C-alpha cells in the first residue's frame, strides 16, 4: 500500500511538473504575442503620423 501511494505521489508530481512547464510555455508565447502586438501598433502609429507626399 505504501509503495502504491508513493508511486501515485510520484505520478502526481510529474503531472504537476508537466503542467507547470506547459503553463510557462504558454506564458512565454503570450508575452511574445503581446510584444508583437505592441510593435505592430507602434509601427501603425508611426505610419499614420508620417507625412504623405
pLDDT in tens, 7-53: 999 999 999 999 999 999 999 999 999 999 999 999 998 888 766 64
pLDDT of residue 1: 63
| pTM greater than 0.85 (yes/no) | no
DSSP 51: P
pLDDT at res. 51: 65
Q: What confidence score (pLDDT) does residue 11 get? A: 96
- pLDDT band per the 50, 70, 90 thresholds, residue 3: confident
| Grid coordinates given for 13 | 508530481
- Other Cβ atoms less than 10 A from the Cβ of 42: the count is 10
| Cα(31)–Cα(21) distance, integer angstroms | 15
Amino acid at each position: 500500500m505504501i509503495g502504491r501511494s508513493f508511486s501515485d505521489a510520484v505520478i502526481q508530481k510529474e503531472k504537476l511538473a508537466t503542467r507547470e512547464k506547459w503553463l510557462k510555455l504558454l506564458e512565454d508565447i503570450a508575452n511574445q504575442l503581446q510584444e508583437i502586438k505592441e510593435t505592430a501598433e507602434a509601427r501603425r502609429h508611426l505610419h499614420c503620423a508620417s507625412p504623405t507626399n
